[in-house]
Structure 1
Amino acid sequence: MIALSLAEIAEAVSGTLNTHGADTPETVVSGVVDTDSRAMEPGAIFVAKPGEVTDGHLFVGRAVEAGAVLAIVERIVDEPVTQIVVPDVVLAIADLAREVVARVRARGALKIVGVTGSNGKTTTKNMLATILGPEGETVAPKGSYNNAVGAPLTMLRLTDHTRFLVCELGADAPGQIGRLAALVTPDVGVVLMVGLAHAGGFGGIEVTVREKSELIRAVRPGGVAVLNADDHRVAGMAAIADERGLSVRWFGEADSADVRSGALEVTAQGTRTTLTVDGVEIPLHLKVLGGHHVKNAMAAVTAAAALGIDPEVAVRRLESMQLAERWRMQVLTESPIRIINDAYNASPDAVAAALRTLAQITGPDERMVAVLGAMSELGEQAVEEHQKIGLLAVRLRIPRIVVVGSEARALYLAAIAEGSWNDEAVFFEDADAAFEYLTGELRPGDSVLVKSSNAAGLRFLGDRLGESFS
């Protein structure tokens, strides 16, 4: 974090300062800010966030032992450290992030990109970080730091020398994207697509559309909206951009898109295509597995161009990427069995894309195995969407469909009904049972996809399989 006095921090978060030892209101701190006591280092600021399982206030002492010099708390803790007491620590770190971003932006060099969408946010922000990093100090989220806590913590990593901030903006509840985007007022807002992810929690797809569009409403005057020309719900956000006087740049397969792709050649070594950027053709070999990531690459190139990065330079930098993120189409082993762990997020669109990738990269002498778990937060559409995935898996002629967890049982039943029999589709209540089955069933030449939502926990099953067959 940039250097701020204790008094400035207390004012930013509307908190009460309680100094300790030699500290005074003028004492300056500039260390990392985190809610995890294990992430502390000398000079750090610990945020004591209450949680569902435990309470950060219990770890203030541990944070101090690791080097924390300030704790932001909701109640005074009997530990030898300066504390700022606030009513709500989550709101406090948002307020502090707003102040830090405003101060760094006022110095003139900082440019901010906000990225949202039902799928592809994490991959796209990593692609943008890869493109922008060589241009100057770039701050982007760790993993999927995109919620009410993670996004502000990312913003608080800014320094006086940061040139680019890439914000991944997700939503645990309606209104969150607007609140997070308002902390930074991005120069460029990227909306990837609108799908069924979170639709159950939000109350329907139209509420999701409104939520994603809040990013465009938050883009600063004179900024740029980067929109998916192939998604009619995203394309409709151009009206909001026009109302606000923003420029609109399009990516997609439509002929009208500013950045579009040609035919895709998808293999286990990546995807080859040609991007056309404002009429100029640029070959692209994307090593990140899955043809669906080309759309994310187009979004990243479009956003980078809005920041003045030459598209050919952007493409060359993207070609250096080997992995989107851990647990996202992550190839754990190639031989004798290929294990692909993609079990961190799973909307219906993402699962369908992953299954199609499995079919595309599996050779004629190899066998496809899909290990599938539940897709979360689909509400009343959960059964229907799981059934659709079961049908798709059978229609893609996947000979081994391994379904794990009761919440995904509709997927298994749909596969059976569609014509998957003779143990082609099997069901297990838990990952341990599935692991025992798979270790005896898998054979050399198999291509195995492990796919589920984060809550289903199959990413750990994928890791176990990777360790077993490495």
Structure 2
Amino acid sequence: MIPLQASDLARVVGGTLAGDDVLVRGGVQTDSRLVEPGDVFVAMPGEVTDGHRFVATAVAAGAALVVCERPIDDAVPHVVVPSGLAALQALAAHVVAAIREGCTIVGITGSNGKTTTKNMLQAILERHGETVSPVKSFNNEVGAPMTMLRATSSTRFLVLELGASREGDIASLVRIAMPDVAVVLKVGLAHAGEFGGVERTQRAKHELVRDLPADAVAILNHDDDRVAWMAERTAARVRWFGLEAVDGGLWADDVDSSIDGTTATVRRGDDAWPMTLRILGEHHVMNALAALSVADELGVAIPDAIAALESMVRAERWRMELLRPESGVVVINDSYNASPDSMAAALRTLAHVSRSSAARSVAVIGAMTELGDSQVEEHDRVGRLVVRLGIDRLVVVGAGAKAVHDAAEHESSYGQETTYVETSDQALALLRATLQPGDVVLVKSSLSAGLKDLGDAVGGVA
């Protein structure tokens, strides 16, 4: 964060300072376990606990200033505010305004691919200037401001991942940061249960570009009709990307994948650039095109940007992460997030790479969450897709995903190839007893299904 006097910080957040008017030079934390000497600790009530319970821990760790919703007895200087969340967001808006002149702000949203695209942009832009992007997938009303607060006067690129649980969430974050470049990747069924349907998801994602000024740029997925719809509903200049030829934009063909990665040819007009990603899955080509479009807009040469992408070993921990344990099996651990779209993409990747290497394919599937009334229907679709793709073995874990097993079992002649177990421990025992060297295993679920550790265990990660 930029340095601030405690009195100035109190003014910015609309609070009252108690104690010394210290100069704050550290970062901002909402988790007392992450506080380092000189940091600001923002105490907020949460869904599970109340940050005010951990003020003493933060002070002991060296917090220079506490922002809190009620007076505290500690000797540390503190600013009392009506709302810790509102204070956090106001402080983030102040920092963004202070650094905007020398910094380009990029916002990314979409039902799938935000974190991968963010990581791709980090890999590209950090070669050209100090780049700040979210830790993991910090993208909500707390996480996005926390990313903004990591920016300093030397930050040249600030990349924000903007997610939403309801309509209005992204709009509120846009008001804080107002991106210079905004990317919309895809509108799908991820979180559709929370929104109440894909149409409302579309409106929520549209908030990223809806209020942009005319001198901003909206980079939109030409292949997704729900994203293309946004082009007529923004004042920003529009750039397209996709797998079909698009005027003036980047597109790709010759897309292929193997167990060693993904290849494609990136094109613009008469220009063409080969690209070989070590990241597994043809669907990541779209994420790469989005990142390359931002880089191109910011003046980075396409060959240089592609070279940065080709240096990436993985998209993110537990996202299409390739593991090669001593057992001789190949594990694709993609158990950090799951939606109907990302589930289908991962299964198609499994089917394709296993066929290309003449290997047996094994899908280990856990529940997809936040699908609302379509929960059973979408899991049923997954089970039938497994059969249609010819995946050799299916293991379904947990009651939330049982419809996957039921659908696969009901398909003709597939009953002997699918197994349902209730727990990850049961799945691990089954896999260890039945996997053979050379098998390609996909472990795919939402994070709350708890399969990431199962994927690591099968993949030989301690």
TM-score by length of 2: 0.96
Matching residue's letter, 1:163? R
Q: Which residue of the other structure, out of 239, 245, 249, is the alignment partner of 1:249?
A: 239
Contact (CA 8 Å) 1:71, 1:84: kept in 2 or not? yes
- Given the alignment of the two structures, is residue 339 of structure 1 paired with residue 331 of structure 2, yes or no? yes
CA distance in 2: counterparts of 1:365 and 1:254, whole angstroms = 30
SS of residue in 2 equivalent to 1:357: helix
Matching residue's letter, 2:74? E
Residue 50 of structure 1: aligned partner: 45
Residue 137 of structure 1: aligned partner: 130
CA distance in 1: counterparts of 2:203 and 2:360, whole angstroms = 42
SS of residue in 2 equivalent to 1:221: coil
Gaps in structure 2 of 5+ consecutive residues: none
Contact (CA 8 Å) 2:387, 2:414: kept in 1 or not? no
The percent of aligned pairs where both chains have the same amino acid is 52
CA distance in 2: counterparts of 1:460 and 1:74, whole angstroms = 37
Q: Give the C-alpha shift of residue 218 in structure 1.
A: 3.6
Residue 213 of structure 1: aligned partner: 206
CA distance in 2: counterparts of 1:99 and 1:61, whole angstroms = 27
Matching residue's letter, 2:417? E
Q: Which residue of the other structure, out of 67, 70, 73, is the alignment partner of 1:72?
A: 67
Matching residue's letter, 2:238? V
Residue 99 of structure 2: aligned partner: 104
Matching residue's letter, 1:10? A
Query: Cα–Cα, structure 1 residues 364 and 419, in superposed 2: closer, same or farther, change >3 Å?
Result: farther
Residue 361 of structure 1: aligned partner: 353
What pairs up with 1:277-356 in 2 under 5 angstroms? 277-333=268-324, 336-356=328-348
Gaps in structure 1 of 5+ consecutive residues: none
CA distance in 1: counterparts of 2:319 and 2:422, whole angstroms = 24
Contact (CA 8 Å) 2:166, 2:204: kept in 1 or not? no
Contact (CA 8 Å) 1:229, 1:251: kept in 2 or not? yes
What pairs up with 1:63-212 in 2 under 5 angstroms? 63-105=58-100, 108-212=101-205
What's the CA shift string for 1:22-71, capped at 9, x where partnerless?
Answer: x22xx210211111112111101111122222221111111111111111
What pairs up with 1:229-244 in 2 under 5 angstroms? 229-241=222-234, 244=235
What's the CA shift string for 1:189-230, capped at 9, x where partnerless?
Answer: 000010001111101111111100100024343011100000
- Given the alignment of the two structures, is residue 4 of structure 1 paired with residue 1 of structure 2, yes or no? no
Residue 16 of structure 2: aligned partner: 16
Q: Give the C-alpha shift of residue 358 in structure 1.
A: 0.8
CA distance in 1: counterparts of 2:188 and 2:270, whole angstroms = 30
Q: Give the C-alpha shift of residue 456 in structure 1.
A: 1.1
CA distance in 2: counterparts of 1:337 and 1:99, whole angstroms = 51
* Count of residue correspondences: 459
Contact (CA 8 Å) 1:188, 1:219: kept in 2 or not? no
TM-score by length of 1: 0.95
Q: Give the C-alpha shift of residue 420 in structure 1.
A: 5.4
Matching residue's letter, 1:266? S
Q: Give the C-alpha shift of residue 395 in structure 1.
A: 1.1
Moved more, 152-161 or 403-412: 403-412
Q: Give the C-alpha shift of residue 86 in structure 1.
A: 1.7
Q: Give the C-alpha shift of residue 269 in structure 1.
A: 1.0
CA distance in 1: counterparts of 2:357 and 2:108, whole angstroms = 38
Please provide the CA RMSD for this pair.
1.4
Q: Give the C-alpha shift of residue 431 in structure 1.
A: 1.4
